[in-house]
Amino acid sequence: MRKVMALLLACLLLGGCEARHAAPVQAESSEDISPVSSQWWEEVPEEEPSSSELEPSSVPEPPAPEESPLELEEWALILANYDHDIRDYEPELEEVQNGYRMDVRVAETARQMIADAAEQGVSLLVCSAYRPYSSQERNFNNSVNTYLSMGYSQDQAVAATARLIAYPGRSEHQTGLAADIVTPAYQGLDDGYAETAAAKWLLENAADYGFILRYPADKTEITQIDFEPWHYRYVGIDAAQEIMGNGLCLEEFLEQQGMLE
């Protein structure tokens, strides 16, 4: 009873309990209290721990961490497309197959995917991987020149080329995260490849390794690149499963994640 009275008095004197919190010097350091006021302030610290203990115990919400969204590897979500130029991007490289190189953070995974496919009787053949800016520029110009020689105008030649070959600086091959993967028995880069066992295996399994079919047939409006059943791109396992599982393209996924600038 005395305790309660003392506390009430303390509150009244200090203009309410909120004011008491606003004067923590007195409330928390009971050893420094002047002898005159000590008889009631000594009681006060008992209140402090109990109210501060309550707050943390009400904070933890066990389901929240488990519901945490995808674990994204941001470096693996770099976007290179008609709208995103990465001409200064230079990844550290490592060989994957036949001299073709990819980003060192991806090379081992790519080799593992190829080995696992082989174990299941599917032969995957890398026919292009990392391409520096200079070779992309050369490829692009060669294609434009071919169209020009066929009678296309400059604009037509560039437009026709851009459907097949990314502008220099805007190719995923410069990221070191993309590979064109065919099979020894079918090495043509055309729609027919989609019917091979290799293409079907990739479509079904690549996401387990963090790779996506980057240019699906039904996303050409967004990617502005024609269907390329051979072009696979590493984005990380969580992102790949989300993208392949929901029939998205990388641009749509990045937009959903608020990562599209």
- Name the residues annotated as catalytic: 228
DSSP string, 125-183: EEEE----HHHHHHHHHHHHHHHHHTT--HHHHHHHHHHHSPPTT--GGGGT-EEEEEB
The span of 34-42, 110-118, 149-157, 224-232 binding Zn ion (CB under 5 A) equals: 224-232
Number of residues in contact with Zn ion under rule CB under 5 A: 2
Give the interface segment with Zn ion, choosing from 5-13, 162-170, 175-183, 241-249 (CB under 5 A).
175-183
Q: Quote the least distance from Cβ 193 to Zn ion, whole Å.
A: 12
44 vs 102, beta carbon nearer Zn ion: 102
CA dist., res. 113 & res. 110, Å (int): 5
Query: What is the x/- site pattern for Zn ion, positions 128-167, by CB under 5 A?
Result: ----------------------------------------
Determine, following the binding rule CB under 5 A, whether residue 125 of this chain makes contact with Zn ion: no
- State which residue, 180 or 242, has the beta carbon closest to Zn ion: 180
**Lateral strand order in the sheet of 178-182:** 125-128, 178-182, 231-234, 211-213
Q: Which is nearer to Zn ion, 20 or 140 (CB)?
A: 140
Q: Token pair 């309410």 is at which residue? A: 16
The values of phi and psi at residue 259, to 5°, are: -110, 5
Residue (109 or 174) nearer to Zn ion, CB: 174
Stretch that binds Zn ion, among 101-109, 173-181, 204-212, 242-250 (CB under 5 A): 173-181
Contacts of 28 (CB under 8 A, 6+ apart): 45, 48
Residue closer to Zn ion by CB (options 14, 194) is 194
- The C-alpha R_g of the chain, in whole angstroms, comes to 31
Residue 231 found at the interface with Zn ion (CB under 5 A): yes
Single residue of 175, 180, 183, 249 touching Zn ion by CB under 5 A:
180
User: Which residue in the block uniquely carries the two structure tokens 């008609």?
Assistant: 82
Q: How far is the CB of 167 from Zn ion (least distance, A)?
A: 14
Cα→Cα distances 77→55, 72, 177, Å: 39, 8, 9
Instruction: Name the minimum Å distance from CB 182 to Zn ion.
Output: 11
Q: Which residues bind Zn ion (CB under 5 A)?
A: 180, 231
